[in-house]
Amino acid sequence: MTISLTGVSERPGSAEALTSLLSARFASRLFAKDATLWGEAAAAEAAVRLGWTDATGAALDLIDGAERLASEYRAAGIDRIVLCGMGGSSLAPLVIAPALSVLDSTHPDAVRAALEGDLQRTAVVVSSKSGGTVETLSHLAAWEGAFAGAGIDAAERIVVVTDPGSTLAERAAASGMRAFLADPTVGGRFSALTAFGIVPSVLAGADFRPIIAEAAAVRHDLSADSGENPALALAAALHADLPERFVLELHPDGSLPAELGLWIEQLVAESTGKQGHGLLPVALPVGAAGTRSTAALSLGFGLSSPAGADARPAGELFVSAPLGAQLLLWQVVTAALGFLLGVDPFNQPDVEAAKIATRASLGGAAAPVASPPAASDLLAELRRVAPADGYLAIQAYVDPTAPEIAEQLERLRSALGEELGIAVTAAYGPRYLHSTGQLHKGGPQQGAFLQLIDVPVRDVVIPGPEAGAELRFGELMRAQARGDASVLRARGRAVVTVEREHVEGYLAELIAGCAR
């Protein structure tokens, strides 16, 4: 077996959950695509969301097609691949293809940086399962305008990945863009081993065949109704202390891409975080210290298990497996957690609520930028609203391509964790809306939220009639933050919002304030 678990057998309370999975024959029924596993209410959704359980068979044809297009692009001197997609459409390729540029931000600086790259050597993958993702369609419009302005045929440079029959598929067909049609029976966050993971990764130079082979090699073990099934054992261990320990800190050991934690984060949080239940993974960088929170459980991941019990923190779980096996393992674990929690792992009702609120916010007058509170006052407010047994989520509407801001956010996350004594997450907006955003609103009511919005000095127009009259990316970004905040507050969550130009200066003040 290529999957090894460490620390799982040490978890008290997991035996009951494992017995429940085995008694239900969960694994074999999952791989037989039994849609009734999650109850009557979820059956209709599950019936069209289980294609990922045998996705490896269809993957080779997709890889062949993507490799042919990659060769064509290389022969034409096109070696810069940019992926526009959100959530599951972007995070798996971010793990698999280090050379890939991902645009999953509506911050004008990030959009401008992408558009101002060398267009002569650029191709763009536009990925959206539904074909109606507002960020992705806005990016598509911007790229069409940029290519036209450079005298380049956009249809030759834009590749679409979407479901058959979507509006994006129709648009691609009408304009002559290349399109890879995905399996409509696979949901976005379970799509790592389908067209959404394969096409952009292969175009960016990744060899996807070993990843598919690694997943196929563990399929038999993951489909077995056995206590030795690593997915069932891990799901039972993670479920053992819920709801008290609902934060899962993910510690990469450096042997696999640290971005795998971001992919696990969106998969697990969006799938389990509903009806007051859920498990909140916190993706940490290599070497980051854990939290003092009693609500947190620590889990490491890498290619091989630590040597000896002293090589890992007391009580930490560890998952060792190659990348392809990790991807399939975590998908089965997530489906099993949905079964144990009694929730539908394939829907995302609160994500839709935030989208509706964003559209409503776009329809009104632009809100003025309020003066931010002094750093000391903000820290005092966070101490007041942060739940002692919960978590604080930093929602950073900033340029994710700015390395100095990324470093400051990690320092702030760590500093606030020490200051408040609770788990703290830090995620980019609007990326998190398609990831942990579902759990923020639908999961345990134990979160407080700090929105840090970098007001752009220069904005970027979103071209095209579907974007509205002179809508700009900065306006869309602020509307997304306001829409999410309104839904969070309606659900009884505490939200503190700070808007400021050049937000990096404010981040430094907050970090310094925590050190006093």
Q: Find residue 424's DSSP bridge partners.
A: 392
DSSP-based three-state secondary structure for 326:
helix
Q: Which among 199, 440, 237, 223 has a CA at the least distance from the CA of 331?
A: 223
Q: Which amino acid is at 156?
A: E
Residues of the chain with CATH 3.40.50.10490: 4-25+225-341, 53-210, 349-515
Non-local CB neighbours of 305 within 8 Å, separated by 6+ positions: 4, 6, 318, 320
Class of domain 4-25+225-341: alpha beta
Is residue 30 a contact partner of residue 223, using CB atoms and an 8 Å limit?
A: yes
- Give dist(CA 334, CA 86) in Å, integer: 20
| Continuous segment of H or E residues that includes residue 221 | helix 209-222
- Give dist(CA 181, CA 189) in Å, integer: 16
Pairing mode of beta strands 494-500, 447-454: parallel
- Give dist(CA 508, CA 501) in Å, integer: 14
Non-local CB neighbours of 227 within 8 Å, separated by 6+ positions: 18, 22, 233
What's the pTM? 0.96
Residue 485: per-residue pLDDT: 96
What is the arrangement of strands in the sheet containing 423-428, beginning at the earlier edge strand? 423-428, 391-397, 447-454, 494-500
Helices (H), 223-277: 230-239, 260-272
Q: Find residue 449's DSSP bridge partners.
A: 393, 495
What's 275's DSSP letter?
T
Q: Distance of alpha carbon 513 from its chain centroid, rounded? A: 30
Helices (H), 428-472: 437-442
* Tokens 């900033």 -> residue: 398
- Give dist(CA 441, CA 486) in Å, integer: 11
Q: What is the pLDDT along the chain (516 residues), one digit of tens a residue?
A: 589 999 987 788 899 999 999 999 999 999 999 999 999 999 999 999 999 999 888 899 999 999 999 999 999 999 999 999 999 999 999 999 999 999 999 999 999 999 999 999 999 999 999 999 999 999 999 999 999 999 999 999 999 999 999 999 999 999 999 999 999 999 999 999 999 999 999 999 999 999 999 999 999 999 999 999 999 999 999 999 999 999 999 999 999 999 999 999 999 999 999 999 999 999 999 999 888 788 999 999 999 988 654 556 666 899 999 999 999 999 999 999 999 999 999 999 988 778 888 888 776 666 677 788 999 999 999 999 999 989 999 999 999 999 999 999 999 999 999 999 999 999 999 999 999 999 999 999 999 999 999 999 999 999 975 544 579 999 999 999 999 999 999 999 999 999 999 899 999 999 999 977
- Over residues 7-29, the pLDDT tens digits come to 987 788 899 999 999 999 999 99
DSSP-based three-state secondary structure for 437:
helix
- How far is the CA of 403 from the CAs of 284, 396, 399, in angstroms? 16, 14, 9
Pairing mode of beta strands 247-252, 296-302: parallel
- Give dist(CA 125, CA 71) in Å, integer: 15
Could you tell me the maximum CA-CA distance found in the chain, to the nearest angstrom?
64
Whats the size of the chain, residue-wise?
A: 516
Tokens of 456: 């752009």
Residue 390: per-residue pLDDT: 94
Can you list the positions of beta strands (E) in 256-356? 280-283, 296-302, 317-320
Q: What is the C-alpha R_g of the chain?
A: 22
- Give dist(CA 417, CA 383) in Å, integer: 11
Can you list the positions of beta strands (E) in 34-111? 80-84, 101-103
Residue 358: per-residue pLDDT: 83
- Give dist(CA 511, CA 508) in Å, integer: 5
The CATH superfamily label for domain 349-515 reads Glucose-6-phosphate isomerase like protein; domain 1 (3.40.50.10490)
- Over residues 201-222, the pLDDT tens digits come to 999 999 999 999 999 999 999 9
Residue 109: per-residue pLDDT: 97
- Over residues 420-470, the pLDDT tens digits come to 999 999 999 999 999 999 999 999 999 999 999 999 999 999 997 554 457
* Tokens 């002179």 -> residue: 470
Tokens of 414: 């760590």
Write the DSSP string, 10-47: G-TTHHHHHHHHHHTTHHHHHHTT-GGGG-HHHHHHHT
- Give dist(CA 176, CA 82) in Å, integer: 19
- Give dist(CA 510, CA 59) in Å, integer: 47
Tell me the CATH number of domain 53-210, given options 3.90.1150.10, 3.10.20.30, 3.30.365.10, 3.40.50.10490: 3.40.50.10490
| Continuous segment of H or E residues that includes residue 425 | strand 423-428
| Continuous segment of H or E residues that includes residue 196 | helix 195-203
Is residue 427 a contact partner of residue 393, using CB atoms and an 8 Å limit?
A: yes
- Packed helices 14-23 and 230-239: angle between N→C axes, nearest 10 degrees: 130
CA distance between the termini of the chain: 50
Is residue 339 a contact partner of residue 37, using CB atoms and an 8 Å limit?
A: yes
